[in-house]
Amino acid sequence: MAAAIAPTTTLTAVPMVDLCGALASAQDAIHRNLEEMHARGQYILGPQTVAFEEAFAKATGGKYAVGVGSGTAALELSLRATGIGGPECNVPDCDVIVPAMTSLFTAQAVLAVGARLRVADVSPEDLLLTADDVRRAWTPKTKAVIAVHLYGQPCRLDEIAALCKERGAVLVQDACQAHGARFRGSPLSDFSACSAYSFYPTKNLGGLGDGGAVVTNDPEVAERLRLLRDGGRLGDQTCRLPGVNSRLDEMQACYLRAFLPFLPEWNARRRALAVRYRDALAGSSTALLRFDDDSVNHLVVAKSAQRDAIRQHLAGRNIQTGIHYPVPIHKQPGLQPFATWADEPRNASNAAREVFSLPAAPHVSDEMADYVLRGVKEF
Ligand SMILES: Cc1ncc(COP(=O)(O)O)c(C=O)c1O
């Protein structure tokens, strides 16, 4: 069963993602976990998932982790577990504030629970939602806020959590890009009932397919999440509430358990690369967006008025880049009919025209990073 993991030969000199090194580092634990799984023959909600949930809760500094099918499901079920939306909700007519600059899946989770999107602008320096942005977007029907820790950097959780508490709204954290992040030394789970994570393969902790988890310190919320993810069941055939089918499967848990011990090392590598890029590009017309010590540097994002031309130039040197994100939430054609905003989210709209992400995941060597920097400078 233990097939050797060979490095990929890709046509791209510097790809955005390459999991071969991660697979090679963790291969003994992966094989052990897969063998245990096959020996037991249980492929859904078995001991691999339970062991991963325990380890992930501990790694994030939370009490409980509940594995689900994706980060989007983690957000959707976080809202429902805290009383927002879903068929059982007695305040169905509600607005959920989301930042204009985020993955469109943040917004999909809001629509999935039957709530309306209320789009807030973000800070121009780091594209994070601030308490002032939340205040400006607030409506009498606001019942929840999703704070997105974009690019791996936690939002100002102290201020946003205090505002939500003062106004009686639920705070859900979208930590889909922030595995291992803390806010000023405190676990994210100290600031709200639910923090939602994605294990999409490109993430700081990624599986080999879809997966997600919610971390919470509240045993009742954890119990509700376990019911919601499994059709309202609790290991039997009784439906206790309207749920969904969205479980983290055993096979993903085998990989995630094996990868988890490497997370601190991989995050440190992301940080070293981010600093290398930041120092080299400081003061240039392609400077990086601001990040601080709390960031786990999921993405290294630069800004340029000539973004498309730079990307094309880099592609010509076989350097892959990305755009996170080219279309802000309030301009997405499929979301717009369900969204409102107070003022046009200008900072997000401007950023969407200029931002681009450089390859900076742990597979990127110093040599690769310097090759990328030469490409940028040459342009
Ligand atoms: C900020 C953010 N929120 C939500 C999601 C959705 O996660 P998933 O793709 O696992 O559903 C992602 C991942 O793409 C993300 O980056």
200 Cβ below 6 A of ligand 1: yes
> Which ligand 1 atom sits closest to the C-alpha of 72?
11
> Which ligand 1 atom sits closest to the C-alpha of 200?
10
Amino acid residing at 322: G
345 Cβ below 6 A of ligand 1: no
CA of 40 to the centre of ligand 1 (A): 31
pLDDT reading at 8 higher than 60? no
Residue having the nearest C-alpha atom to atom 8 of ligand 1: 71
362 Cβ below 6 A of ligand 1: no
CA of 166 to the centre of ligand 1 (A): 28
pLDDT band with cut points at 50, 70 and 90 for residue 86: confident
User: Which of 176, 199, 208, 249 to probe ligand 1 with, by most ligand atoms within 8 A of CB?
Assistant: 176
Helix (H, G, I), strand (E, B) or coil at 374: helix
**CA separation, residue 154 to residues 39, 126, 178, 200, 266 (Å):** 41, 10, 7, 19, 18
177 Cβ below 6 A of ligand 1: yes
User: Which of 103, 149, 179 to probe ligand 1 with, by most ligand atoms within 8 A of CB?
Assistant: 103
User: In the chain, what are the domain boundaries?
Assistant: 23-261, 262-378
146 Cβ below 6 A of ligand 1: no
**CA separation, residue 92 to residues 61, 110, 111, 281 (Å):** 33, 12, 11, 48
Per-residue pLDDT of 106-165, as tens digits, reads: 999 999 999 999 999 999 999 999 999 999 999 999 999 999 999 999 999 999 999 999
* pLDDT the model gives residue 221: 98
Per-residue pLDDT of 59-68, as tens digits, reads: 999 999 999 9
148 Cβ below 6 A of ligand 1: yes
176 Cβ below 6 A of ligand 1: yes
* pLDDT the model gives residue 89: 75
* Cα dihedral across residues 83, 88, 94, 100: positive or negative: positive
Residue pointed to by tokens 């291992």: 180
The β-bridge partners of 216 are: 64
* pLDDT the model gives residue 91: 67
* pLDDT the model gives residue 88: 78
Q: Is the pTM of this model over 0.75?
A: yes
192 Cβ below 6 A of ligand 1: no
Region 35-55 average pLDDT: 98
Per-residue pLDDT of 229-240, as tens digits, reads: 999 999 999 999
Per-residue pLDDT of 157-214, as tens digits, reads: 999 999 999 999 999 999 999 999 999 999 999 999 999 999 999 999 999 999 999 9
- CATH topology assigned to domain 23-261: Aspartate Aminotransferase; domain 2 (3.40.640)
155 Cβ below 6 A of ligand 1: no
* pLDDT the model gives residue 312: 98
CA of 176 to the centre of ligand 1 (A): 5
* pLDDT the model gives residue 10: 46
Q: What percent of the chain has pLDDT over 70?
A: 96
198 Cβ below 6 A of ligand 1: yes
CATH number at 262-378:
3.90.1150.10
Residue pointed to by tokens 């690019």: 151
Region 41-46 average pLDDT: 98
Mean pLDDT for the chain? 95
197 Cβ below 6 A of ligand 1: no
**CA separation, residue 238 to residues 47, 66, 122 (Å):** 22, 20, 44
CA of 202 to the centre of ligand 1 (A): 10
174 Cβ below 6 A of ligand 1: yes
28: Cβ contacts below 8 Å, ≥ 6 apart = none
